[in-house]
Every structure is written in structure tokens, then in C-alpha cells.
Amino acid sequence: MQQAVADGADRGLEPAGCPMCGEPLHPGRSEDDRRGQRRLAAIARAASSVADAGSLSVTLDVVAREVVQAEHIAAVQILRVEGGTMRVVGKAGFTDAEDFTDRLEECRRLGARLMFVEAFRSRRRIVVAHRKAAVLSDPSWAPLHAIMGAPRWDCFVAVPLVVRGRAVGVLNAFYEPGENPGGAALEFLDAMADQAAMAVDSADLLARSRHDAQLAERARLARELHDSVVQQVFSMRMQAKALRSQVASGRTSSPERVQAVADELLGLAQNALADLRSLVHQLHPVELVERGLADAVRAHADSVRSMSGLCIDVEVADRLDLLPAELQEDLYRIVQEALHNVVKHAHATQVAIRIGGAGDAVRDQLLVEITDNGTGLDGRPPREGALGLVSMQARARGWGGRMEIRDTAPGCRVEVMIPVALPGGAR
């Protein structure tokens, strides 16, 4: 994984003086003041990155880069603990070395003292002066000597990532030679480690929310399978028995009676097939994979229109296929469930679907609206605990969003707002 790159010129430092006359650009500000300002700015940018997180690795790369640019630090690693194994999920100042984790494990087997593991277990910051010399002189670190010896660093700081009282990882900072971090520098690392911990925790919550949504959706599909397909197959069995009795040897039965039972059996089979196809479609949204979100929503609307007779108008912003695939599927499922509820409960004749920005001047909010002209809620709150609504709410909350259902007189509106920037050019 890691080999430090040579020091770059862009360290986020302000020039010491005017390039023309050499006079100080900010005569009233000391280097400590400027560094303090850089730290505050780095914390603010990192917090913004965590709030807008779509990918954990991208977010933690931003946090690591902000640390490097604000301090005299050669490189930063952010490691996450998963199943007892630490892996690097964010870095700056390093290039890739795919076997870094394997080399680190070999060092551990040889008896190397892993200071960042101690920081993680104790949930306390660890500062080690002249750490590079100790690592390079220790035979147990031999598998990583080439990698750890390349960067220009000396002092090492490991800061645990702690959220809600539990450690989820560690931030490693490799300070340049001659840099001994003082109290303000260490407090800055603590603050950045807090931002990284929040990002890891948010990713965990999102994964848990999606898992809960999947469980709720499976329960809903199981209930629908029982309420529709199973009941229809049971009725088909009864009709098949009746048909057999009509044509039993030695029994006289009118053709009209046999025809009626056969027609009933055929109708039940067709309904069961339609319901099964609908459930399979919900389990495997092939259109989403093959066509992208916009065309998948239109295709599903066409399917519902042909089966139900609803007049469905679809308006979807361009370039939504650039959104994360998981978000696209959640948006598709929300629209799918909302249309299902309209068909099943609303007695509507028209539906409008809109997916896009929340307004002409707003590009950091994604709005999903499904509006119908049916009976609405009639002043009643949505049925609490309904599996479909629970699934929709969980999908919205998983992205930091919200869902509301409102009467529109006539009809009803499902509104989902998710704080995610629309891809460039989306309208």
C-alpha cells in the first residue's frame, strides 16, 4: 500500500513575503497565527466533506489530505478496524503498495511493536519521537524497511478514532524531521480524527440502515407472496379438483359447467403469473442496471400504466446515472413502492413522478415527488408500521434524507428530500 512520495511544493503554506520586494505579506500575523488559521480551515473543510460523504474512502482521503496540507507532515494514514483486521481507508502523501497489509502482518508476527495498535486499544493518543530511526534499526520491521524508510519523517503520532465511546480506527501522522508537535498541533490531530471517526460511523449507520431496509422489504414481499400468489394457487387447486370431478368417469356434466370451471382456473393462473412477475421485477430491477435510473423509472411507469390504466407523467433530471449505484437503486425502489401504493389504495386516475433538484437555485438537494389525484389520506396519518412505508423511510434516512406524505386535496403526495448534490449539468 504505502510508499511516501517526495515532499511537494504545495503544502498549503502562505508565501513568506512579496516575490517582488521581499516584504512580509501579513506583517501583523506570525507563523503560529497562520498555521492556526490553516488548521481551522482544514477542520471546516473536513467537516464539510464528512457531511457530504458519498464514499468513505474518498471522504477519508480528503481528511488525510487536509492534515498534510495544514501541518509539516510527510504523510497520513487513516486505518479502520473491521473484524479484528486493520486496513487503510484514507491516505495522503503515500503511493500505493498493494502488499502493505501483508507486510505489516509479517512485522507483527516477527514481534514488531505496533504503536498505532496500542493507540487503538487504549483509546489514547500516542506520540513517539525519532520513531523512524527505531523502526529502521529493528529487525522485526524488516518487511517494511524499504517502504517506511523512503519518506522524510521522524516523529510519529497515532490518534484513535473514537465515536460514542468505541474505537473504530486510528489516524497515523508522520511528521517531517525537525517537527515536534506541540499542544495545538496535537489538538488539531484530535479534531481531524474526530471527523474521520464520524465518517466511519456514518458509513456503518448507512450500511445498517440499508440492511434494515432489505429485511423490511423481504418481509413485505413475503407477505405479498402469501396474500396474493399463495392464495391464488390454493384457489387454483380447489378449481382443479372441481374440474376433475366434473369430468370423472361415469359422471355426466354439461360442457358449460366444465367451461366455467376451466375459465375460472385460467383466470387464477393468469393473475398468479402477473403477481409473480411483479415480485420478480421488484427483486431484480434489470432496467436499472441496463438503462440507468431515468429510463428505468420510465419503463416501470409504462409497465404500471399498461396494467392499471393510470395516466402517469414522468419528469426526471438528466445525468442521474452519475449518482452512486446504491442511491439510484434506493430512489428506484422508493418510486416503485409509491406507485404500488397508488395502484393498491389511492383509486387515482393520474400520477406525476418528478426526480430532480429542489429548485432552480438549489443543487445540493435531490427531490423525489410522487403525486396522485386519488382519495388521499382524508386527514388520517399514514398507517404507522406499514412495511412499504418503513422501507421507503429507511432508504431516505440511509442517505441522511427525509420522507413526508401529505394530502393534496385531491390526492396525496410522497416527498423525499436527500442532501446530495446533483451531477454537473443535471437539470
pLDDT confidence tier of residue 289, bands split at 50, 70 and 90: low
Which residue did the predictor score with more confidence, 385 or 215?
A: 215
Per-residue model confidence as pLDDT tens digits over 395-410: 888 888 889 988 888 8
| Spatial CB neighbours of 391, under 8 Å, sequence gap ≥ 6 | 213, 216, 217, 220, 333, 337
Angle at CA 400, nearest 5°, toward 54 and 203? 50
Residue 96 has pLDDT above 70, yes or no: no
Query: Beta-strand (E) ranges in 67-165?
Result: 73-82, 85-92, 94-95, 126-128, 156-163
Task: Supply the pLDDT for residue 387.
Answer: 58
Instruction: Give the separation between CA 366 and CA 317, rounded to whole angstroms.
Output: 10
Which residue did the predictor score with more confidence, 213 or 48?
A: 213
Instruction: Give the separation between CA 341 and CA 363, rounded to whole angstroms.
Output: 29
Task: Supply the pLDDT for residue 9.
Answer: 32
Most trustworthy range by pLDDT among 51-55, 190-194, 278-282: 190-194
Per-residue model confidence as pLDDT tens digits over 302-357: 988 988 889 999 999 887 888 887 888 889 989 988 998 898 888 899 999 999 88
Which residue did the predictor score with more confidence, 192 or 55?
A: 192
Residue 24 has pLDDT above 50, yes or no: no
| Spatial CB neighbours of 89, under 8 Å, sequence gap ≥ 6 | 56, 57, 60, 78, 79, 80, 169, 200
The bridge status of strand 94-95 relative to strand 126-128 is unpaired
Task: Supply the pLDDT for residue 373.
Answer: 92
Residue with cell 503498495: 97
pLDDT confidence tier of residue 415, bands split at 50, 70 and 90: very high
pTM of the full structure: 0.46
Task: Supply the pLDDT for residue 64.
Answer: 84
Residue 368 has pLDDT above 90, yes or no: yes
Residue 22 has pLDDT above 80, yes or no: no
Instruction: Give the separation between CA 282 and CA 214, rounded to whole angstroms.
Output: 12
Whether residue 160 is preceded by a cis peptide bond, meaning omega within 30 degrees of 0, is: no
Average pLDDT value for residue range 63-85: 81
| Spatial CB neighbours of 70, under 8 Å, sequence gap ≥ 6 | 12, 35, 38, 39, 41, 42, 188
**Of 32-41, 117-126, 179-188, the least confident:** 32-41
Residue 199 has pLDDT above 60, yes or no: yes
Average pLDDT value for residue range 380-388: 59
**Of 173-177, 178-182, 280-284, the least confident:** 280-284
> Residue 403 class from Cβ within 10 Å (0-12 exposed, 13-18 middle, 19+ buried)?
buried
